[in-house]
């Protein structure tokens, strides 16, 4: 006979040589043909269903490592949808269709695709002194650092640690860090380069014992601190870096320490200056009554100052005062009515007003 479709009824009878016909016997053609291998749509590590096409009405089973993870039934149009739990990327799934007669199809196999971006992307702090970007991500992922139009890349090791070499960048520069796994899934993070560079040492204008402000130049916008002993005086540098810090008048020789702190909290190396003596000594006090026979002029002035006695522009005698300010200056005999000019010059070369004495 020709091959018959499953479910076809066959009627069988026997007729002998005399033409006698037996009673008829009816049999049904059994289904012994396996369904065709199911067609399966792509499955990723995010999917919770498997879809495809199989023999209409067949039972569809999904197995992973020989373990049943889901079953379903193909509709009259052959389409099926089987619910499963999420599977790891790389898992091999087998899909088998079984018809109503119990015939099983050949298994259709499919690999679960990786559609999950790297779960971790930790980027360590990057400063304007850094020449590498480090952190942690998925093992074996390719890490790229995008800076403007430049790209720098390296591969994470088996523990997920990465190190990408970059040129040092200016503070405030934006870096885009991406990690891409072998399947092409990627995750990105943006970070800003931190300012870890201290301002340059401030320049300070001369500070004298007459001024009430300290002026100079520092990093634009920096906070300038003037420290004198335990006291601190503060002001902000303008957009050009110029600063002016008000202080009390200080004695000559006082140490003044100036630092600049930028917006990121970096503090410069300190600039130390000494208050310069710009205060002239008081005019000397002459004790001697100078006569035409006087050979020595005595008196008091600032300690350790230099006493100069002149007649007109001519210097006729000099000497230094002692620790108490006393002085003795030897001079030649001067004519009566001669006017002597006596001044004191301190160590800083400041000259006092002159004390005048008339020779008697």
Residues 290-298, mean pLDDT to the nearest whole number: 95
| Cα–Cα distance, 58 to 326 (Å, whole number) | 125
Mean predicted confidence (pLDDT) in 135-163: 97
Residue 303: its pLDDT value, please? 96
Per-residue confidence at 92, pLDDT binned at 50, 70, 90? very high
> Would residue 316 count as lying in a domain?
yes
pTM strictly above 0.85: no
Please check whether residue 300 lies inside any domain of the structure: yes
Domain ranges, residue 354? 285-358
CA dihedral 75, 80, 82, 87 (to 10 degrees): 170
Residues 85 and 131 in one domain: no
110 and 126, same structural domain? no
32 in the same domain as 134? no
Percent of the chain with pLDDT over 90: 97
- pLDDT tens digits for 348-359? 999 999 999 999
pLDDT of residue 233: 98
Whether residue 47 is found in the same domain as residue 73: yes
Q: CATH number of the domain that 290 lies in?
A: 2.60.40.10
Please indicate, yes or no, whether residues 145 and 178 belong to a single structural domain of this protein.
Answer: yes
Instruction: Let me know if residue 280 belongs to a domain.
Output: no
- Return the structure tokens found at 57: 């009405």
Is there a single domain that holds both residue 135 and residue 107?
A: no
Instruction: Characterize 278-299 residue by residue with b for buried, 16 or more Cβ atoms within 10 angstroms of its Cβ, and e for exposed.
Output: ebbbeebebeeebeeebeebeb
* Residue 211 shares a structural domain with residue 245: yes
Q: Note whether 244 and 319 are same-domain residues.
A: no
Answer whether residue 302 is part of any domain. Answer: yes
**Residue 161 located in a structural domain:** yes
Going 311 to 314 to 320 to 325, the CA torsion angle's sign is positive
Count how many domains the chain has.
Answer: 4
Q: Is residue 198 part of a domain?
A: no
266 is a domain residue: yes
User: Both 156 and 225 in a single domain?
Assistant: no
**pLDDT, tens digit, 9 for 90 and up, residues 39-90:** 999 999 999 999 999 999 999 999 999 999 999 999 999 999 999 999 999 9
Chosen domain end from 216, 245, 274: 274
Same domain for 107 and 141, yes or no, is: no
What mean pLDDT is predicted for residues 239-260?
97
Residue 68 and residue 20 in one domain: yes
Q: Does the structure show a pLDDT above 90 at 119?
A: no
Residue ending a domain, among 230, 249, 274, is 274
Give mean pLDDT, residues 268-292: 96
- Write out pLDDT tens, residues 151-196: 999 999 999 999 999 999 999 999 999 999 989 999 999 999 999 9
The answer to whether residues 253 and 290 belong to one domain is no
Domain termination site, one of 227, 245, 274: 274
Question: Is residue 279 assigned to a domain?
Answer: no
State pLDDT tens for residues 308-343.
Answer: 999 999 999 999 999 999 999 999 999 999 999 999
């Amino acid at each position: 006979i020709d091959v018959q479709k499953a479910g076809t009824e066959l009627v069988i009878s026997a007729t002998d040589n005399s033409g006698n016909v037996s009673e008829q016997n009816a049999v049904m053609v059994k289904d012994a043909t396996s369904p065709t291998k199911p067609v399966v749509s792509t499955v990723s590590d995010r999917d919770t269903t498997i879809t495809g096409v199989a023999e209409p009405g067949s039972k569809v089973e999904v197995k992973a490592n020989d373990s049943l993870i889901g079953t379903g039934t193909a509709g009259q149009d052959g389409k099926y949808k089987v619910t499963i739990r999420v599977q790891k990327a790389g898992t091999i799934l087998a899909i088998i269709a079984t018809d109503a007669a119990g015939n099983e199809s050949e298994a259709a196999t499919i690999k679960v695709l990786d559609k999950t971006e790297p779960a971790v992307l930790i980027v360590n702090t990057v400063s304007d002194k850094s020449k590498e970007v480090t952190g942690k991500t998925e093992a074996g992922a390719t890490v790229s650092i995008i800076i403007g139009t430049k790209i720098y890349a390296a591969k994470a090791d088996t523990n997920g640690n990465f190190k990408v070499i970059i040129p040092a960048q200016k503070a405030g520069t934006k870096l885009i860090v991406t990690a891409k796994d072998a399947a092409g899934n990627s995750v990105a993070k943006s970070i800003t380069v931190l300012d870890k560079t201290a301002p340059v040492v401030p320049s300070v204008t001369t500070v004298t014992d007459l001024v009430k402000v300290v002026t100079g130049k520092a990093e634009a916008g920096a906070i300038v601190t003037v420290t004198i002993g335990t006291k601190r005086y503060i002001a902000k540098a303008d957009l050009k870096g110029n600063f002016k810090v008000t202080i009390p008048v200080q004695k000559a020789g006082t140490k003044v320490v100036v630092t600049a702190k930028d917006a990121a909290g970096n503090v410069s190396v300190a600039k130390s200056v000494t208050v310069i003596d710009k205060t002239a000594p008081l005019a000397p006090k002459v004790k001697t009554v100078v006569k035409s026979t006087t050979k020595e002029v005595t008196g008091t002035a600032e300690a350790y100052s230099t006493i100069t006695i002149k007649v007109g522009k001519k210097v006729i005698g000099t000497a230094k005062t002692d620790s108490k300010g006393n002085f003795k200056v030897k001079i030649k005999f001067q004519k009566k009515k001669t006017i002597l000019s006596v001044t004191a010059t301190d160590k800083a070369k400041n000259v006092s007003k002159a004390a005048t004495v008339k020779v008697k």
